[in-house]
Structure 1
Amino acid sequence: MARNEQLIRQHKILQLLEDARYGRTLDEIRDDLITDLGLSKLHERTVRRDIEALQSAGYDLDVETNQRGKVWKLGRVDRGIHKISATATELIALSIGRDLLNPLAGTQYWQGVESFWNKLEEEVPNGVYDHYSKFRETLCVYGVPTKTYEKHAGILRTINRAIVEHRIVEIDYQSPGRAASTRRIEPYGLAIYQSSIYVIAAAEEVEDPKERMRHWKLDRFTKATALDEWFKPDPDVDIQTHLNRSFGIFSGEATESVQIRLSSFGAAWVREDPWHTEQQLDMQPDGGAILTVSSAHPRELMPKLLSLGAEAEVIGPESFRTAVTDVIARLAKTYSVQPAEGQ
């Protein structure tokens, strides 16, 4: 068995015992490991060896006998390492971040956020928490999509495990307007973009290294199975560099430099709400500007362009300008038809 699999199990055992005030039996730990790590089976002896390895590493794991049988607990010393203090300002900042992460509800990430928040509530003095509560009432977070990945929690666990172990994953994937298909992917990592989770993975059947990496939206996964087949990660693939090449979440190594003419009104909006961290905004004598951004596909720029209407004009490359022209023509055709009476 690979060493990283042992480390993953042992880390998960510590998490399970942290959350168990009354401890867990070996059977309960084993069953939770199978569920949370997406395993097909796991012997009780393996769990016992993992616990013994943690004890040898210095973790305070105690066993006691009660009505449920032998129950393992995380000792007080190890629970104490999590005690932290926080100011009212820090609590406000963390609670805002917690609200922004609402779309991750149902995933292990959200469980971690909630667990950490509960620990903070227990540890901070009442006076600090009361001070935080008073000011938090005056600060609201809006605009977070009302979506949840609760139904995808099992799939996400499978993907996470495959990323760490470099396993090939067989997925059932359905894009809007297309029939579902079964694909084999080589997952490298995850990305959160505009409150959606994407799996950054290579399409196994694609040979061109510049075209292999794709971004698979987790919402479109209906099934994911980690196969007993492994892939060798490409050492030239860096997730951060890969994602920073493009304007949005569209995949593709090849990006194009897009120039957009902005009116003075449009330029003011883009200065106020930048489109990209690496955008270039060249101000013009009339108060307008030429905006330059990198993009892998016209569709990722389209929402921004349409939101500004006539205040933004794509001046190059021609393929992007044509794509915008086609959309505008289709919109004009749609709105030229009078709606039927009563509709």
Structure 2
Amino acid sequence: MQINRLLEIVYILLDKKQVTAKQLAEQFEVSQRTIYRDIDTLSAAGIPIYTNKGRGGGIRLLDQFVLGKSMLSDKEQVDILSSLQGLNALNVPDVEPVLSKLAAIFNKESTSWIDVDFSRWGSDASEQEKFNLLKTAILNRNVVAFDYYSSYGVKTERIAEPIKLIFKGQGWYIYGFCRLKNDFRMFKVTRIKNLACSEETFSREKPGEVWSYPSNMNHRTVKLVLKMESSMAYRVYDEFDQNGITKLPDGSFIVEVTYVEDEWVYGYILSYGAAAEVIEPEHVRNIIKQRLEASLRKYS
């Protein structure tokens, strides 16, 4: 108990620079005499700690003191703080106190270098809350319940044990064990509605490779050759690998890419409107043509 208190006193002094014996005694619920004995113990252990009496006085560390600096290189200290800052941006519980303590120990500023927002541009607060619920369920291993809409618009009620939040193919997914299907499944977050986190917990772990295709997803892939107008340059370079892009003399682009062929692919191509043309394969070209013609008939 005393060792923990001694370490905490050092942390407090690194953070606040100066405190009084009365403040420390109140925080640790001990007498001021005990605090002064702790100060003597720290001093005997080689910690450069001293007290100033009188008005404005208190307990301090020497200004240049850094605890444990010799244990880690400067780069290692920065890397640790950067990693913790990344976790803090994800709102992982209890990271902020650790980040503050280590920043004080290393005598470095805890610079905020990253912010993470899982929701889409233009989405409302409910979508961000969905990610917060999923994050809490994953960290606490709580079972979740939700309505799920398939790519064909079919609604099913699911109870799942969420294991990981995954970003894949320009979309967010939850990977977990679905009790309805009695198997591991990948659920697209945008198709999850009426999400609720229960008090029930689970202990199941994911066997094997998360990135292998789950059984509820289409395995068939298609190699696309697309022609994009020059006005789509900002999307072409954002969304495709440089090795698959060929810029033509007129400023347009030929893009070669391989995707799993499903409804998402057709919708993705159509999102480019008249600025994209499917060159290959012929069957995808015909599907896009039919859907554009069907859309046009609605306006005729």
TM-score when scaled to structure 2? 0.49
| Larger-gyration structure (1/2) | 2
